[in-house]
Chains A and B, each alone.
Chain A
């Protein structure tokens, strides 16, 4: 228990300090708007609206492809997402896939040590490790992890990609569409969505030290993705 009078004395003392300007500017970028839980009927309406929207979009795409195709056979460049023009994609069929475990896969590159760290943690499991090679060169590592903490449980699909910046595994193109944020100076992209079971889902992509990391996290914890940033950014 503090002495009231002395506490007031100290508070007045602190209030006299001329504090530096522009301290909160960067912090404001990190404030995120709260997502409010929707009533059930609104959720149903929202799902129905989503179906209608998807249907309408599909119809638009079909009509656009069939009716507005240019005479030389090329399609309107605006029709494809901007990322398509920047990135080149490769698929499963181009990779030679080898099964592995968290320990052996971690020895392939120092950027994969975090998989081993996850595997040895008492509250985590890592499974489904695979390494994909092209022409003998390591292109992609994937793994599944399950992590329990408190009352929460994360299920996470992890991809680590070692290709050049613009060469991306075709299943990962969606990870580039999220909102850009910064973590300890490192840029990352985050897409938040709600899974079929109502749980928050996150698509997180971060490039760090020339390696590309992708996480698909399903967790009741709305800040679940942060711990994966801590795993990567040192």
Chain B
């Protein structure tokens, strides 16, 4: 999340905590795409909307417990992820969507003017090794820190850091041809 958007999100979450319900729409406008993408990647298209709906109820309820941070989107994504995992347990659906889905968003409803860039990114992602896609998913989708990703993947922090740098370099190369850092 860009710094500007991050600050806006912080303000919006605080406004919700103070009782301004309409600011939930602002949060949705800023971060809804990413939240939907994460829900979609975890529970699939059929349930992503339900997960998003329940996630916003949690945001409304727990906004008072939120403290100002550098990564408000990470807080929102954690809520979506936990809600999705609860959903998987409660509905007994299989969690089989994950990595295949997270770089195929342009095949869903997608903004036509952004579609061309989206397809480029998706094609680049599809050329990465599965573990490279996985680490980028954890870091860029789920907003995990390297430490959290290491715990998720049951790998050492340094191994995860190396994998992340390798995946980023590969993706940059695929997107910008290797000359553009």
Given contacts A9-B121, A16-B118, A34-B18, contact A24 B28 (CB under 8 A): yes
Residues of A within 8 A of B37 (CB): 14, 17
Encoded as 1 (CB less than 8 Å from any A CB) or 0, chain B from 86 to 121 comes to: 000000000000000000011011110011011001
- Residue A174 interfacial (CB < 8 Å): no
Distance (Å) between the CB of A131 and the closest chain B CB? Answer: 33
- Residue A165 interfacial (CB < 8 Å): no
Encoded as 1 (CB less than 8 Å from any B CB) or 0, chain A from 1 to 12 comes to: 011011111111
Given contacts A27-B57, A32-B19, A34-B17, contact A14 B34 (CB under 8 A): yes
Size category of the A interface is 20 to 34
Given contacts A19-B36, A20-B36, contact A30 B111 (CB under 8 A): no
Interchain CB contact (< 8 A) of A30 among B20, B61, B168, B172 = B61
- Residue B131 interfacial (CB < 8 Å): no
CB <8 Å contact, B28 and A31: no
| Residues of B contacting A: mostly | helix
Interface size of B in residues (CB-CB distance below 8 Å): 48
Residues of B within 8 A of A12 (CB): 114, 117
- Residue A13 interfacial (CB < 8 Å): yes
CB <8 Å contact, A34 and B19: yes
Distance (Å) between the CB of B128 and the closest chain A CB? Answer: 12
Residues of A within 8 A of B64 (CB): 34, 222-223
CB <8 Å contact, A5 and B172: yes
CB <8 Å contact, A10 and B57: no
A-B contact count (CB 8 A): 115
CB <8 Å contact, A16 and B106: yes
Interchain CB contact (< 8 A) of B65 among A6, A7, A19, A223 = A223
Beta-carbon contacts under 8 Å, B44-80 to A: 49, 52-53, 56-57, 59-61, 63-65
Distance (Å) between the CB of A31 and the closest chain B CB? Answer: 4
Distance (Å) between the CB of B114 and the closest chain A CB? Answer: 3
Distance between Cα atoms of A109 and B9 in the complex (Å) = 47
CB <8 Å contact, B168 and A6: yes
- Residue B139 interfacial (CB < 8 Å): yes
Distance between Cα atoms of A34 and B17 in the complex (Å) = 7
Residues of A within 8 A of B171 (CB): 6
CB <8 Å contact, A13 and B56: no
CB <8 Å contact, B111 and A18: yes
Residues of B within 8 A of A110 (CB): none
CB <8 Å contact, B28 and A13: no
CB <8 Å contact, A26 and B121: no
- Residue A227 interfacial (CB < 8 Å): no
Residues of B within 8 A of A2 (CB): 139-140
Distance (Å) between the CB of B71 and the closest chain A CB? Answer: 10
- Measured CB to CB, the nearest residue on chain A to B16 is A31
Q: Which 9 A-B pairs rank lowest in CB-CB distance, beginning with the nearest?
A: A18-B109, A16-B114, A33-B19, A27-B56, A28-B21, A14-B33, A30-B60, A31-B21, A14-B34
